């Protein structure tokens, strides 16, 4: 297996800590400094079918963003579909899987100046089929960067557990990146986290502040988790939802609760709420920057970015005609209002291919708040 091309394994202390976000930002930073960058996600758990192959979603994001010039099958060699673990326990085929990983890595690293290996969670994920993140990093000869949530006590406790498993496999931790750190406390957290991690022999490489926009779901993402059907879909359905409210009060009071980026959830027979949302779609917001995505026009920010009609209730035909004549996307859901709101609140917001605004923001955050050059110095 290739042992010459520099590489880094990106792990995390838990799911949704920002592993893919970090990998995407590091890819851009390394590409600017080094040139040709390869990418591989050895073990994927969320995948899409592409030309008969099961390809990890994060791999598709990286390919769409950077045109990595590596065969998709090698960037995503193992997909953990529902029956994978049961079949492995019944008929272990570890040697085959190891050879497949190493062969795919060789093809990923071919004519590349650096390779980013994205793990699938914390150090122990994959142990059930003998390919924990710690072992995969060992098999591929990579040092590790661990991404953890912002804070001091909890992240350090979790990092200590992860370090134990990487140490057991003989894998060196190049450093830690704390993600989603409260902006007002970033300096304080960075100071004490750096000192706390030093006691474990772990280097802090950066503290990335929480960016609200990255966690804001788009209307298309919301429609998927609430079984939504668009009754009216004008313009860009990738508008971001910053605030969710259930329209359960009078129409006069509901207008007072509208903020920029509001998604209104209301039963389909509350026509007064629907009309209030339609009329408040493009209220003037002095703080809105010109040409902001989702704005109705330069200098104006959309107050209501969408409406969900819950409970499979539909308004009168005259209201439907007004909806179709408006600029407000409206979808219907069979779920009740509370379930719709709860589903949105608990959803995991992934970065989608083609979301240039979010991708640009991620790259900027990593470049600004992670010591990229010092990390590269540890890997050369």
> So what's the pLDDT on residue 88?
93
For the chain, what is the radius of gyration of the CA atoms?
A: 23
Q: For the segment 273-317, what is each residue's pLDDT rounded down to a tens digit? A: 999 899 876 544 433 443 444 434 433 457 899 999 999 888 999
Q: For the segment 65-76, what is each residue's pLDDT rounded down to a tens digit? A: 999 999 999 999
Q: Percent of the chain, pLDDT > 70? A: 94
d(CA 144, CA 310): 46
- Sign, CA dihedral 70-72-73-74, equals positive
d(CA 375, CA 8): 10
pLDDT in tens, the chain (380 residues): 999 999 999 999 998 899 999 999 999 999 999 999 999 999 998 888 898 888 999 999 999 999 999 999 999 999 898 899 999 999 889 999 999 999 999 999 999 999 999 999 899 999 999 999 999 999 999 999 999 999 999 999 999 999 999 999 999 999 999 999 999 999 999 999 999 999 999 999 999 999 988 989 999 999 999 999 999 998 778 889 999 999 877 777 778 778 889 999 999 999 999 998 998 765 444 334 434 444 344 334 578 999 999 998 889 999 999 999 999 999 999 999 999 999 999 998 989 898 999 999 999 999 999 999 999 999 87
Instruction: For 7-214+352-379, give the CATH class.
Output: alpha beta
pTM: 0.86
Residue 18: other Cβ atoms inside 10 A = 25
Query: Taking a C-beta distance cutoff of 8 angstroms, is the pair 152, 193 a contact?
Result: yes
Beta-bridged to residue 240, according to DSSP, are 218
d(CA 173, CA 88): 29
CATH fold label, 217-346: 3.40.1390
Strand order of the β-sheet with 262-267 is: 229-232, 330-332, 304-310, 262-267, 243-246
d(CA 380, CA 377): 6
Q: If we measure between CA atoms, which residue out of 155, 174, 109, 102 comes closest to residue 131?
A: 102
Residue 84, C-beta contacts closer than 8 angstroms, at least 6 positions apart: 129
**CATH 3.40.50.300 placement within the chain:** 7-214+352-379
d(CA 252, CA 273): 9
**CATH 3.40.1390.20 placement within the chain:** 217-346
Q: How far apart are the first and last CA of the chain?
A: 18
């Amino acid at each position: 297996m290739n042992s010459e091309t520099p590489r880094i394994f990106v792990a995390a202390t838990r799911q949704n800590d920002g592993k893919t976000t970090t990998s995407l930002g590091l890819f851009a930073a390394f590409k600017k400094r080094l040139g040709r960058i390869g990418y591989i996600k050895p073990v994927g758990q969320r995948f899409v079918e592409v030309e008969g192959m099961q390809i990890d979603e994060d791999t598709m994001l990286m390919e769409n963003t950077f045109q990595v010039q590596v065969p998709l099958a090698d960037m995503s060699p193992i997909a953990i579909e529902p029956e994978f673990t049961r079949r492995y326990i019944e008929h272990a085929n570890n040697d085959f899987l190891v050879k497949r990983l190493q062969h795919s890595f060789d093809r990923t690293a071919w004519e590349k100046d650096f390779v980013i290996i994205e793990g699938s969670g914390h150090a122990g994920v994959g142990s059930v089929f003998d390919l924990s993140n710690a072992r995969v990093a060992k098999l591929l000869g990579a040092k590790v960067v661990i991404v953890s949530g912002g804070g001091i006590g909890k992240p350090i406790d979790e990092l200590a557990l992860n370090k134990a498993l990487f140490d057991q496999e003989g894998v060196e931790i190049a450093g830690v990146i704390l993600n989603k750190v409260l902006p007002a406390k970033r300096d304080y957290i960075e100071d004490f986290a750096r000192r706390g991690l030093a006691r474990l022999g772990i280097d802090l490489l950066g503290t990335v502040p929480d960016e609200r926009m990255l966690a804001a779901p788009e209307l298309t993402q919301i429609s998927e988790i609430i079984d939504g059907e668009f009754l009216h879909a004008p313009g860009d359905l990738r508008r971001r939802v910053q605030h969710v409210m259930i329209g359960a009060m009078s129409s006069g009071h509901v207008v007072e609760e509208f903020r920029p980026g509001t998604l209104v959830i209301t039963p389909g027979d509350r026509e007064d709420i629907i009309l209030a949302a339609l009329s408040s779609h493009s209220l003037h917001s002095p703080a809105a920057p010109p040409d902001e995505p989702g704005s109705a026009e330069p200098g104006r920010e959309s107050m209501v970015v969408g409406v969900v009609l819950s409970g499979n209730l539909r308004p009168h035909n005259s209201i439907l005609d007004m909806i179709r004549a408006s600029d407000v996307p409206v979808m219907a859901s069979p779920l009740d209002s509370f379930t719709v709101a709860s589903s949105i609140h608990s959803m995991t917001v992934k970065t989608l291919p083609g979301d240039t605004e979010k991708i640009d923001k991620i790259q900027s955050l990593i470049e600004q708040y992670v010591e990229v050059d010092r990390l590269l110095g540890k890997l050369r």
